[in-house]
Amino acid sequence: MKILVSGYYGFGNVGDEAVLGAMVQGFRQYLPESEITVLSAAPRLTAELDQVGSVSRFDLPGILREIRKADVVVSGGGSLFQDVTSNRSFLYYIGIVWLAKLLGKKVMVFAQGFGPLRKRFNRWLARLVLNRVDLITLRDEDSLAELGKMGVKRPPVRVTGDPTALLEVEDKSEGRKILGLEGIPLNKPLIGVSVRSIPHSPRSEEQCFKHLAEKLDALAADHGLLPVFIFFQCPEDMRQASMVMGLMKEKSYAVFRICRPDEMFSLFTQFELVIGMRLHALVFAALNAVPMLGISYDPKVRSFMKDIDQPCVDLDATGKMSKLIDGILAKKTEIKAVLESKREMLREKAAKNFKLFLDTFAGEGEVSR
């Protein structure tokens, strides 16, 4: 079976690259003879890292050629169908799906978090196109509700989970080596901190970072916890991290190394606590049973934290951050036990994406069970 994957790949975002790695791993497990091609902003790098075929996402003739060759076009994972960060990106991703359907191809929307879509035309276009795909899987119930409100009712729609829960990391000690190479002390407990920009809301960003800096100072001074900033998107996340670090009085550290998904995953084994805005910082923390607080700049963050029964603070309520973190530290042992129990649930939900793919598209191309 020939599978063409469209998503936010080749831009150096560790979370999205982890999603792609998990998708490739899953397809090869369930369809060992499948041929996978990925649309990427850096096709040579994607081909090398994931051992797949790859074509530039900006090469329209190449995209058309690969769509014609594919048995199934897969859109996902991530949050592709939203217009908060960029209207142009939404039109690109929905356009790939529309092209595939115009060329008579089977299409699956794979483990996506849907929305928000704020523009009326975009909602109309999404309803028009997505009602013509063959299967939709979503990573949270909120996305299901949003699709229902929009009137996407024709294809089968199932709630599954983020595929990164299936990632296998062979050497979890790599994280300790990376910290050592970055000059970060290994004899003290560490807090992993992941921040990012807050689209179109500089005032919320300023207030959030102020509260975060104050709490990190208190944790360092009162508990001896060392803040370590990690970057899921370089260099973008560095700017926000430097803003928080500049507001702090206590010493903090950062991992400047550009990490592969497996290296980033291994870093989380070294943290006592994670405070995260990036969704996959929280996913990696959950998979390593690390207590965490989510900062919800986007509905997908709150949806995930609700799914694993962990605390989350909205941008307009970051003043509550300090009390929530104190509560996490007081119940750290119990929280780790809860997260251990959630791990298998996350993996089962992730695997469901591939089982639904097989059930729906088993007749397409050469399928080997």
Question: How buried is residue 12: exposed, middle or buried, by Cβ count under 10 Å (0-12/13-18/19+)?
Answer: middle
Predicted local distance difference test score (pLDDT) of residue 368: 37
**Phi, psi (degrees; rounded to nearest 5) at 82:** -150, 155
- What's 134's DSSP letter? S
316 in Cβ contact with 347 (< 8 Å): no
Q: Token pair of 62, please?
A: 């190449």
| Angle subtended at Cα 69 by Cα 67 and Cα 70, rounded to the nearest 5 degrees | 65
In terms of DSSP bridges, do strands 72-78 and 2-6 run parallel, antiparallel, or are they unpaired? parallel
| Angle subtended at Cα 266 by Cα 261 and Cα 270, rounded to the nearest 5 degrees | 140
Q: Considering the domain 2-159, what is its CATH architecture?
A: 3-Layer(aba) Sandwich (3.40)
Spatial CA neighbour of 210 closest among 314, 301, 318: 318
Task: Please tell me the distance from the alpha carbon of residue 28 to that of residue 42, in angstroms, as a whole number.
Answer: 22
How are the residues of the chain apportioned to helix, strand and coil, as percentages rounded to the nearest 5?
50, 15, 30
CA neighbours closer than 13 Å in the CB half-sphere of residue 123: 12
Write down the residue that tokens 């994607």 correspond to: 46
**SS3 string of 210-223?**
HHHHHHHHHHHHHH
Predicted TM-score (pTM) of this structure: 0.92
Per-residue confidence in pLDDT tens, the chain, 369 aa: 999 999 999 999 999 999 999 999 999 999 999 999 999 999 999 999 999 999 999 999 999 999 999 999 999 988 899 888 788 999 999 999 999 999 999 999 999 998 889 999 999 999 999 999 999 999 999 899 999 999 999 999 999 999 999 987 767 789 999 999 999 999 999 999 999 998 777 888 899 999 999 999 999 999 999 999 999 998 889 999 999 999 999 999 999 998 999 999 999 999 999 999 999 999 999 999 999 999 998 888 999 999 999 999 998 898 899 999 999 999 999 999 999 999 999 999 999 999 999 999 987 765 433
Spatial CA neighbour of 268 closest among 178, 338, 143, 162: 178
Strand order in the sheet with 53-56: 53-56, 35-40, 2-6, 72-78, 106-112, 135-138, 157-159
Q: Token pair of 2, please?
A: 């020939």
Please tell me if the domain spanning 2-159 has the same topology as the one spanning 174-343: yes
Q: Domain ranges for the chain, please list them.
A: 2-159, 174-343
Q: Which fold has domain 174-343?
A: Rossmann fold (3.40.50)
Write down the residue that tokens 């999603």 correspond to: 19
Q: Which residues pair with 61 in a beta bridge?
A: none
Task: Please tell me the distance from the alpha carbon of residue 353 to that of residue 24, in angstroms, as a whole number.
Answer: 12
Predicted local distance difference test score (pLDDT) of residue 198: 85
